[in-house]
Structure 1
Amino acid sequence: MLRLVRNIGIGAALVLAASALPSMAQGLTVGVQVPTTGSEATYGQDMANAIQIAIDEINAAGGILGKQVSEVVGDDACDPQQATNAATKLASSGVVGIVGGYCSGATVPTLKIYGDAKLPFIITAANSTKLIPANPGNAFMINSTGNDQVAKAMEVFTKRGLKSLAIVNEGDAYSQDLAELTRKAWTDAGNTVAAFETVNKGEQDYSAVVTKIKAANPDGVFWTAYYADGGLLIRQLREAGYQGLIAVGDGSNSPDLFKLAGEAAEGVIGFSNPTAEFLPGAKAFADAYMAKFGNAPGPYAPLSYDGMKLLAWAIDKAGTTDSAAVIEALKGADFKDGLAGPISFNKDNTLARSNFIVLEGKNGTWALAE
């Protein structure tokens, strides 16, 4: 009887072990950090969707190192505290790497967590220069930084003859960084910052800042924060009679800006990472996205897709999922198959080229600026 019980126990243990093996052998899991709740949830879900398209293609081609791939999403809600919680869970979940990062303010506190876990982290959207000194060396930014955006903005503002500028931000890591970089570059070039305003996220009434801007009468207004609030400010500026140039940073490159601003967004200038509709090589991706999710890919879908493909490339190049080897492969990356263009990195793990394009609001949507 004792032998029978022992055998039954051993058999049960073997069954449990066997049942665990498929989950281990099924493949590799990639962590995806994006906002799927909160004001930027549309962007975050779009990024997760694009990563899934890349994973589908990778799996159809045989996976990574012969293993199928899946994603697990951590919702950071564009909130630093929630991002910290999400990153802690992802870092302890057995993932081989992290792809994502939309809001810079929510991405900064996760850098140490992923760094301590020695996980390769491909940041696909967040681009504040504040990410650079906080990077332990395992994170790689494939969207150009705020410095590149400011250089493009300076080029456009100068070409259009602007001499004075009002700059409006929301005090977060992304928009404040872009605002301060712009102010310095603009004044260093001998121009005037007529107003430098910080407003609260979620503001509905911008009458106070609109009054200040109208009184200062700048040649242009540069909104450096996100579209959900930017659309309201643009509308209220035009309704108040402001006639100067209005420009927005890449946090406002969503087509939804036009739903919020209405006709007031006509002629608005936008600085943007390359989006699918302006990338000839992204048509197959856009078609696959539409077929799977029923809508067009959003502004950060191509970069998110590229981020997943880059991680797969690095693991394949390393020949292992060992983090140190994958990170080393990323440092020397010469990835040429990105929808948004080739990817290689500077010594600080930022994209080695500028990918910014200039858009203009025309007929209720974005078009390439002439």
Structure 2
Amino acid sequence: MRKWKKFGFAVSLASMLMLTACGSGGSSAGNSGGASGSEILIGVQTPTTGSEAKMGQDMNNAIQLAADEINAKGGILGKKIKLVFADDASDPQTATAAANKLVSQGVAAVVGGYSSGAVLPASGVYHNAGIPMVVTAANSAKIPAQGYKEIFLINGTTVHQAEAAADYMTKKLGAKRIALVHDNSAYAKDLAELTKKSVGQAGGQVVAFEAVNPDEKDFTTLLTKLKNAKPDATYWTAYYAAGGLLIKQFKQLGVPGAIGVGDGSNDKTLIDIAGKDAAEGTFVTTSPTAEFIPGAKAFLDAYKTKYHADPGPYSALAYDGMRLLADAITRANSTDKAAIVKALKETKGFKALEGDIAFKDDNTLEKSNFIVLVVKNGTFALPQ
């Protein structure tokens, strides 16, 4: 999930950055363009502490798996990939420190990025250093809006998600009257506003546009407004903890129409909080997770064999991010940062698990990768 998190800035130096390296000790690549001896240094920025640590570790696992597979086939340009991990804790200040540390380590490129709030400041650091970053999860439209030529997003943006939500509600569900609810967090509000625009373009009408507190527990006042507005569909753009309660109370109060959620609520906990019966039929817009990708069986099997666990929601994207970087360096025939940026920009038809990758002028995906799932018998499934 691509949350825009706000954290306090009182972070100790010890918790600001945890940096480890795969293979031998973390020596700097100096001015060698990210190559040191027989290795190419690739930075990995994810949260491995804080509330999103599990998501970050799942991404790290997938990136490590991809690097191991590439190294087993001879590496890149005759050199082995050496990953340098930096913890951004999904926190802006920590992310800035993590990015500066990776720059000082002399990495050729960076892959990862879970939280938009962490990627936004870190991307400025990479831009100033000329270092390319393949962002594999964070997807706020504010990231490409910065105009940094070095930053590439391989997950659909909030614009893509808004279009997917509006399309599903107006076409698949036949909804004409739409209610939108967010929690005033930057990411959720951004998605709600973009969805409002997309609903209008799709011929629908937004009959309610409401905000609640992020820690809201009682949605009676909101749901009474929605019930009176008589929506055909309601779309929650924030996160699963409050989202689960909203769905539960939505059904209890008998609000008409369908209810759906954005990717910030793509978590089994949403169903647990709402209850299996109340959650039944809820739709969720999300980037594709590995179990719903037709060509991902080999990745799933390899991940489970290596880590004895299922991949996380953004593991497939992280895996492809590492593979895309390796492909770009190979096509550039160099670890020169500018050459890698150029090769990434020229990417056409790269075979990723989620589909072919090519970039628009703003370095976002040429084609949206968002899908829609529905809750069926207590789990997420593809709609019929």
What is the TM-score with the length of structure 1 in the denominator?
Answer: 0.87
Structure with max Cα Rg: 1
Which deviations, in whole Å up to 9, do the C-alpha atoms of 1:275-324 show, x marking residues without a partner? 21121211111111111222211221111100000001111111111100
Does 2:140 match 1:128?
yes
State how 1:1-370 maps to structure 2 within 5 Å: 24-25=36-37, 27-159=39-171, 160-189=173-202, 191-263=204-276, 264-370=278-384
Contact 1:130 1:173 in 2 (8 A): no
Q: Distance in 1 between matches of 2:113 and 2:107?
A: 16
**Quick one: which amino acid aligns to residue 352 of structure 1?**
E
Segment of structure 1 superposing worse, 347-356 or 301-310: 347-356
Q: Distance in 2 between matches of 1:342 and 1:37?
A: 32
Contact 1:126 1:174 in 2 (8 A): no
Contact 1:128 1:173 in 2 (8 A): no
Contact 2:62 2:303 in 1 (8 A): yes
Q: Percent identity?
A: 53
Q: How far apart are residue 137 of structure 1 and its match?
A: 0.5
Contact 2:28 2:104 in 1 (8 A): no
**Quick one: which amino acid aligns to residue 221 of structure 1?**
T
- Do the aligned partners of residues 184 and 42 (structure 1) sit closer, same or farther apart at CA in structure 2, a change above 3 Å counting? same
Q: Distance in 2 between matches of 1:44 and 1:178?
A: 23
Q: How far apart are residue 227 of structure 1 and its match?
A: 2.8
**Quick one: which amino acid aligns to residue 301 of structure 2?**
D
Number of corresponding residues: 352
Q: How far apart are residue 67 of structure 1 and its match?
A: 1.9
SS, match of residue 352 in structure 2: coil
Q: How far apart are residue 357 of structure 1 and its match?
A: 1.5
Q: How far apart are residue 25 of structure 1 and its match?
A: 2.9
Q: Distance in 2 between matches of 1:363 and 1:46?
A: 26
Contact 2:144 2:151 in 1 (8 A): no
- Do the aligned partners of residues 38 and 230 (structure 1) sit closer, same or farther apart at CA in structure 2, a change above 3 Å counting? farther
Segment of structure 1 superposing worse, 73-82 or 129-138: 73-82
Q: Distance in 2 between matches of 1:335 and 1:27?
A: 27
- Do the aligned partners of residues 280 and 76 (structure 1) sit closer, same or farther apart at CA in structure 2, a change above 3 Å counting? same
- Do the aligned partners of residues 355 and 20 (structure 1) sit closer, same or farther apart at CA in structure 2, a change above 3 Å counting? closer
**Quick one: which amino acid aligns to residue 48 of structure 1?**
N
SS, match of residue 63 in structure 1: coil
Q: How far apart are residue 147 of structure 1 and its match?
A: 2.2
Q: Distance in 2 between matches of 1:305 and 1:121?
A: 14
State the partner residue of 1:6: none
Q: How far apart are residue 202 of structure 1 and its match?
A: 4.5
Q: Distance in 2 between matches of 1:193 and 1:118?
A: 43
**Quick one: which amino acid aligns to residue 354 of structure 1?**
S
Contact 1:127 1:174 in 2 (8 A): no
SS, match of residue 209 in structure 1: helix
**Quick one: which amino acid aligns to residue 341 of structure 1?**
G
Q: How far apart are residue 26 of structure 1 and its match?
A: 5.1
SS, match of residue 165 in structure 2: helix
State the partner residue of 1:3: none
Contact 2:164 2:370 in 1 (8 A): yes
Listed as ranges, the gaps of 5+ residues in structure 1 are 1-18
Contact 1:32 1:99 in 2 (8 A): yes
Contact 1:254 1:298 in 2 (8 A): no
SS, match of residue 316 in structure 2: helix
Larger helix share, 1 or 2 = 1
Q: How far apart are residue 163 of structure 1 and its match?
A: 2.2
SS, match of residue 169 in structure 2: helix
SS, match of residue 267 in structure 1: coil
Which deviations, in whole Å up to 9, do the C-alpha atoms of 1:320-366 show, x marking residues without a partner? 11100000000001243311111111111111112121211111111
Q: How far apart are residue 107 of structure 1 and its match?
A: 1.6
Contact 1:31 1:95 in 2 (8 A): yes
Root-mean-square deviation (CA, aligned residues, Å) is 2.4
- Do the aligned partners of residues 329 and 250 (structure 1) sit closer, same or farther apart at CA in structure 2, a change above 3 Å counting? same
SS, match of residue 109 in structure 1: helix
Which deviations, in whole Å up to 9, do the C-alpha atoms of 1:36-80 show, x marking residues without a partner? 233333322211111111111011111122222232332233332
**Quick one: which amino acid aligns to residue 179 of structure 2?**
A
Contact 2:38 2:80 in 1 (8 A): yes
